[in-house]
A and B are shown apart, each in its own frame.
Chain A
Amino acid sequence: MNDGETIKELAVNIYSIFSELTPTLPRARNLSLNAIVTSARHGTQGLGFGMVSNELNVMVSDMEELLNQVVKTFSDISVFSGQKLQEEMYMQKVLQAEKTIKRSMGENPTDKAVSADHRQSEPQPESQGGHEKHNLDSLSNSLQSIQGKLSSNHQLMNDLLRKEMGLLNQLSWLVAQKGHFISISAKIEAARFDEKSADLRVVAQDIRQLSQDIKELVEKTKDNMSFIIKNLT
């Protein structure tokens, strides 16, 4: 598998991770609501757990905003990648045309595949010397224009990829630090209750599990993105 194919596969992977990450948001929202309701059932004793639940709610909103930006930026990156491929294909075809014209100028003006009777009918240039040289200049101008577009595309892609990595780092920090803090706090709060309050412990456990799941998905996205950045910039 070449680098191009690997990048394509990684991009598909990232989309697939996004499709796993997106449902974690409603899951987190439900969990946050469940935590608030559960803490309320315990009255004043559940106030501490309630604060943890509110923090979880805030974290989910932050996550949602970040994730939307991550997906939007990745979609922009995909559009620019498509444009890059198209420009590269144009460049390849113009280079092939240039090569074909040069080869034709170096040989008898007739095509090798042309049979003798066809050669007699070979169109004569409008003026002596043909238009190959003039057209090579036009092709060269087109190539410069394509290269200019590729260079500007490259710069934009670089900017977008770095922006994406920054967003992923923020998301990663949010889940790793704040998520970890919330899940530990929930566990501590739940531990303050007696055996009859197993519901709080279940919620705390769920929060912990959710944080871990999201963290894993974000780290996978970062790994894929790092490889893409390394190979595209």
Chain B
Amino acid sequence: MISKVLFNENGRKWIYFGRDAGRGETLIDTNEYLIIQDGRGMLVDPGGIEIFPSVMASVSKVIPIGNIDILFSSHQDPDVISSLGLWLRVCGDVTIYSSWMWGGFISHYGGEQKLQLLPDEGGVVPLGTSRDLLAVPAHYLHSPGNFSLHDPVSGILFSGDIGAALLPADNKDIFVKDFDGHIQYMEMFHRRWMPSNKAKSRWIEMARGLNISMICPQHGAIFKGDDVPRFLDWFDALTVGEVGT
């Protein structure tokens, strides 16, 4: 599994994990992110049960798992959080942050849970001494109870399935290198998985008001620099909620 430090300043660190070469052929590739603040950790979309061993091994290089306090689940899908039962077993005392809609659903992934269910308007996700990580609404993009996570310190916006791309297996680029060439890998996904143009416009308007250095999706490559506004413009112009391209 590839890992990369995306940000490391003033006691805050963002680490990317993804492109698990050992995952089963039928599993969609996923990105996991670890945020560390004051030595305490938050796993953002910790992933499915099948890739737990790889994520666990990668995380072990960075932090004692007992220091992971929070699992952030952007929504309820199995590739996002079906590893929940295992993390609860190995981490000890962790709190799960997710939409109020999914408390009863993700509990089916097992374990004794401490849930912090977010209201539709989102809210602060406290990590260590910090109180600036913000769950921002991304409902219907694609899940009806969906959150992005914004960090004003690093400018990183974790966007869940927004900006996701289904990349060919041999593409190991963590960052988007050629935006126009990248469109082919994300266009169908957004048209089909995102059901609402209204929700899309609302999210874009919200995103344009944030300071964003990187947009980090749960699948595919990360947008940084000029590719951030480029992605927002592209997404703005795209009609979603359609079958096919």
Chain A residues within 8 Å of B, Cβ to Cβ: 86, 89-90, 93-94, 96-97, 99-101, 104, 109, 111-115, 118, 121-126, 130-132, 134-136, 138-139, 142, 145-146
In the bound complex, residues from chain A placing their C-beta under 8 Å from that of B2 are 111, 113-114, 118
What distance in Å separates the Cβ of B9 from its nearest Cβ neighbour in chain A? 14
Asked whether, in the complex, the Cβ of B90 is within 8 Å of the Cβ of A118, the reply is: no
A52 vs B89: C-alpha distance in the bound complex, in angstroms?
Answer: 61
B5 touching A97, Cβ below 8 Å: no
How many residues on B have C-beta within 8 angstroms of the other chain's C-beta atoms?
36
- Which residues of the partner chain B approach A97 to less than 8 Å between Cβ atoms? 52-53, 56-57, 90
Tell me whether A101 and B4 are in contact in the complex, defined as CB-CB below 8 angstroms, given that A123-B62, A126-B39, A135-B64 are known contacts. no
B90 touching A126 by the CB < 8 A rule? no
- Where the two chains meet, the residues of B that have a C-beta atom closer than 8 Å to any C-beta of A are 1-5, 13, 15, 19, 21-22, 36, 39, 49, 52-54, 56-66, 85-86, 89-92, 110, 172, 174
Closest 6 CB pairs of A and B: A96-B53, A113-B21, A100-B57, A97-B53, A97-B56, A135-B60
Task: Say yes or no: A104 contacts B57, CB within 8 Å.
Answer: yes
Point out the residues of chain A lying under 8 angstroms from B3, CB to CB.
111, 114, 118, 121-123
Interface of A is mostly: helix
Contact B60 A132 (CB under 8 A): yes
List the A side residues contacting B110 at CB < 8 Å: 86, 90
**Which single member of B62, B91, B172 contacts A115 (CB below 8 Å)?**
B172
Most A C-beta atoms less than 10 A away, residue of B15, B22, B61, B63: B61
B90–A139 CB distance below 8 A: yes
Minimum CB–CB distance for B137 against chain A, Å: 30
Q: Contacting A131 at CB < 8 Å: which of B5, B49, B64?
A: B64
